[in-house]
Chains A and B, each alone.
Chain A
Amino acid sequence: MPIRKSAPVEDVQALPASGAPSPQSVSEPVTAPKRTVVTTPRKMLASGMSEAEAIDRAKEGDSGCFEALYGLHKRRVYSLCLRMTGNTAEAEDLTQEAFLQLYRKISTFRGESAFSTWLHRLAVNVVLMHLRKKGLPEVSLQETLEPAEEDGPKKDIGAHDQVLAGSIDRVNLERAIESLPPGYRIIFVLHDIEGYEHNEIAEMMGCSIGNSKSQLHKARMKLRDLLKITRAERNASRSSSRQLL
């Protein structure tokens, strides 16, 4: 039962000529936000400066280039923080902390992986550190992150109702992810949205690969339940509207 894996995406983004970011001028990623695997510095500043050059200059303390890097990556870092925490204020604080750490550590970036991959790993670590400080566990996810049995997903034995295909929209999926218990949400975001492999997640979270797989499965099962409830409510609402007409 092999599941399709998305091909690596190269997201070429532009920055304004000055290197200064502005929400209007930073282009949108147009494809799925899988972790970028870029072997050559493809991201270019509109002025012709490559991202690699901006990184080199930022390493030397050029704050304009650092700001340009912020403009290029802020949306993905913020989205990652927001999806992992489900809280706007926390996500903003963590985005700030991630970029402060970037500034302090950028001189250690050796270019062995894509800059975006490196930055995202840094941001994930910032979020995980924060969540641990808040009381989420460092060691055993299974014992401490797992919701009570009654909240968890149920086995689907004997029940056969309509499949979900074609019925999920982005808003409902985002909402459902937001309402997942934190342990499920973190693994789901890291694996299914950000594209980390189970061995990477296990390393970051300090759990076993099997544990990561198990949590991911429970997250997907829970999402399936939530999305089916949403669909049922929507259908009920439509049918009552029709009856009123």
Chain B
Amino acid sequence: MTCAEFQRELPLIIDAGGTEEQEEHLKSCKVCCGLVNDLRYIADQAKLLIPLYDPSPKVWDGIEQKLKVEGLGKPAQARRSI
């Protein structure tokens, strides 16, 4: 199996696992092994990204205003300041 053949199949096998032949190629090829490790590393790092930012207060103000206009809800007056 060549690197080109392996990498053509990579999108389908990286998360699910490959055939024996593909596994063999991976073991013996530094280039493809490095590539797979990089892609897995990126995926693992992405899983660790936590939501860091709150929306600005105007988002809630906008929601509250729209709910009033649409008559959908009672405004939560006192609760906001607590």
A-side interface residues toward B, CB under 8 Å? Answer: 1-4, 6, 16-21, 23, 28-29, 31-34, 61-64, 66-67, 70, 74-76, 78-80, 82, 91-92, 95-96, 99-100, 103-104, 155-161, 163-165, 168, 170, 173-174, 177, 188, 192-193, 195, 210, 213-214, 216-218, 220-221, 223-224, 227
Interface centre among B18, B34, B46, B50 (most CB of A within 10 A): B46
CA distance A103 to B23 in the complex (A): 50
**CB pair A96 B42 closer than 8 Å:** no
CA distance A20 to B30 in the complex (A): 55
| B12-31 interface with A by 8 A CB criterion | 12-18, 22-23, 26, 30-31
**CB pair B17 A164 closer than 8 Å:** no
CA distance A217 to B13 in the complex (A): 10
Q: Which residues of A contact B13 (CB under 8 A)?
A: 1
B-side interface residues toward A, CB under 8 Å? Answer: 3-4, 7, 10-18, 22-23, 26, 30-32, 34-56, 58-60, 62-63, 66-67, 72-76, 79-82
Instruction: Known A-B contacts: A2-B17, A75-B51, A100-B67. Give 13 more (CB < 8 A).
Output: A1-B16, A20-B82, A33-B51, A34-B47, A74-B55, A75-B55, A82-B53, A157-B4, A157-B31, A170-B49, A173-B45, A192-B46, A213-B11
CA distance A173 to B4 in the complex (A): 27
Interface centre among B14, B39, B63, B82 (most CB of A within 10 A): B63
**CB pair A193 B47 closer than 8 Å:** yes
**CB pair B82 A164 closer than 8 Å:** no
Q: Which residues of A contact B46 (CB under 8 A)?
A: 173, 177, 188, 192-193
CA distance A19 to B15 in the complex (A): 41
**CB pair B43 A75 closer than 8 Å:** no
**CB pair B38 A63 closer than 8 Å:** no
CA distance A20 to B77 in the complex (A): 10
- Closest CB-CB distance, A232 to chain B, in whole Å? 14
Sampled A-B contacts (21; CB under 8 Å): A1-B23, A16-B82, A20-B81, A33-B50, A34-B47, A62-B74, A63-B73, A75-B54, A78-B53, A79-B51, A99-B63, A103-B67, A104-B72, A157-B3, A163-B41, A170-B48, A188-B46, A192-B46, A210-B12, A224-B35, A224-B38
**CB pair B56 A92 closer than 8 Å:** yes
Q: Which residues of B contact A6 (CB under 8 A)?
A: 47
**CB pair A32 B54 closer than 8 Å:** no
**B7 is contacted by which of A156, A174, A177, A227 (Cβ under 8 Å)?**
A156
CA distance A196 to B22 in the complex (A): 26
**CB pair A63 B51 closer than 8 Å:** no
**CB pair A163 B79 closer than 8 Å:** no
**CB pair B47 A32 closer than 8 Å:** yes
Q: Which residues of B contact A217 (CB under 8 A)?
A: 10-11, 14, 39
Q: Which residues of B contact A66 (CB under 8 A)?
A: 73, 76
